[in-house]
Structure 1
Amino acid sequence: MTEKNHHFSFKIAAHINELDAADADLLQQARQLTAVAYAPYSKFHVASVALLANGAMVRGTNQENASYPVGICAERSLLAAVGTQYPNEIIRTIAITYQPQNEKSNTPISPCGMCRQSLLEYEARVNHPIRLLLAGAEGPVYIIDTVKHLLPLAFGSGHLL
């Protein structure tokens, strides 16, 4: 039996002020966008804003539904918008943040497993890494160079016959 290890490195900015102007703007837009998320059940508002290679910005928020499985996360909402408006365009960076109702949002949030799989599929589709800025409404920001780091041993098209 052999043992293998998986690890990855990422950067942590202690505050939005440590980001360059483009990243700070992207994150600030995502933070403001949480206000329009539709989360009447969980009260957990999530927003994502992407900067595309062509300079366009695309936004997504979580959209809940009384039939819980019908809802969609902010990241997949964003990917659907990108895929529809800018098919196969490279996504350079996505800022993801959240704001729960009446609670602090001061630690970075990471995409759920389903969103990680969807983001990874988009990376593979355009053959380009997606850089992530993960944050709360305040506090530190995690900077991750590729979604691939978040889903080791991922299932992909190469597994299909």
Structure 2
Amino acid sequence: MSKKIKIEAEFEELAWDELTIEEQQLMMRARKVSASAYAPYSNFHVGAAVRLDSGEILQSSNQENVSFPVGVCAERLVLGYAGANFPDLAVKEIAIVARRKGDEIWAGVSPCGLCRQTINEMEMRFNRQISILIQNPDGSVLRFSGIQTLLPFKFDDLNA
């Protein structure tokens, strides 16, 4: 017998002035670092910034490769750096922005599947949700309280 299952997404859409000062700062860091993206093939510049429990902010941009699967997304790059260099500090929040090279308007994009799973792994590692901020084209920002809304059928401990 089949049954219909419905999944609902709960998140916030905030105007810039509704963000906390810390969130605005994180978004600005993501915007700034997006300019350093190496994206000669897609011309799609992505920036990601994370705030650690210590308050320190780390940021990165996407780095493409002519062999497309070899490129690295901004989100995975900054989360990997955080994990390798600050292994005892949890990521509190991540800000993600993107736009085409030369465009004035930000694109509204969410993390790809690999990045979503990487965020999930970081949440599992520290047993806490990571606030996710995503820039919208109209200037507003989407705020997710954790990865569950973006990745409802996530991989987690396969031995459980």
Do they superpose with TM above 0.5?
yes
Q: How many angstroms apart in 2 are the aligned matches of 1:105 and 1:27? A: 15
Given that 1:108 and 1:142 are in contact with CA atoms closer than 8 Å, whether structure 2 keeps it comes out as: no
Instruction: Please tell me the root mean square deviation across aligned C-alpha atoms, in Å.
Output: 1.7
Q: How does 1:103-142 map to 2 (within 5 A)?
A: 103-136=103-136, 139-142=139-142
Q: Are positions 1:11 and 2:5 aligned together? A: no
Given that 2:98 and 2:107 are in contact with CA atoms closer than 8 Å, whether structure 1 keeps it comes out as: no
TM-superposition CA deviations, 1:81-120 (whole Å, max 9, x none): 1011101421111110012113353443200011101111
Deviates more, 1:19-28 or 1:100-109: 100-109
SS at 2:35 equivalent: helix
Q: Are positions 1:144 and 2:147 aligned together? A: no
Q: How many angstroms apart in 2 are the aligned matches of 1:81 and 1:63? A: 14
SS at 2:99 equivalent: strand
Deviates more, 1:58-67 or 1:128-137: 128-137
Q: Which amino acid aligns with 1:103?
A: D
Given that 1:106 and 1:140 are in contact with CA atoms closer than 8 Å, whether structure 2 keeps it comes out as: no
Gaps (5+ residues) in structure 1?
A: none
Given that 2:37 and 2:61 are in contact with CA atoms closer than 8 Å, whether structure 1 keeps it comes out as: yes
Q: How many angstroms apart in 2 are the aligned matches of 1:107 and 1:101? A: 11
Q: Which amino acid aligns with 1:84?
A: A
Q: How many angstroms apart in 1 are the aligned matches of 2:57 and 2:83? A: 13
Q: Are positions 1:100 and 2:79 aligned together? A: no
TM-superposition CA deviations, 1:14-72 (whole Å, max 9, x none): 3x222111111110111111111111111000010001111111112100011111100
1:36 to 1:141, Cα distance in 2 relative to 1, 3 A:
same
Q: How many angstroms apart in 1 are the aligned matches of 2:34 and 2:125? A: 28
Q: Which amino acid aligns with 2:22?
A: A
Q: Structure 1 length as normaliser, TM-score?
A: 0.91
Runs (4 or more) in structure 1 with deviation over 2 Å come to: 1-4, 102-108
Q: Residue in 2 aligned with 1:35?
A: 35
Q: How does 1:48-127 map to 2 (within 5 A)?
A: 48-127=48-127
SS at 2:54 equivalent: coil
Gaps (5+ residues) in structure 2?
A: none
Percent identical residues:
35
1:24 to 1:137, Cα distance in 2 relative to 1, 3 A:
farther
Q: Residue in 2 aligned with 1:24?
A: 24
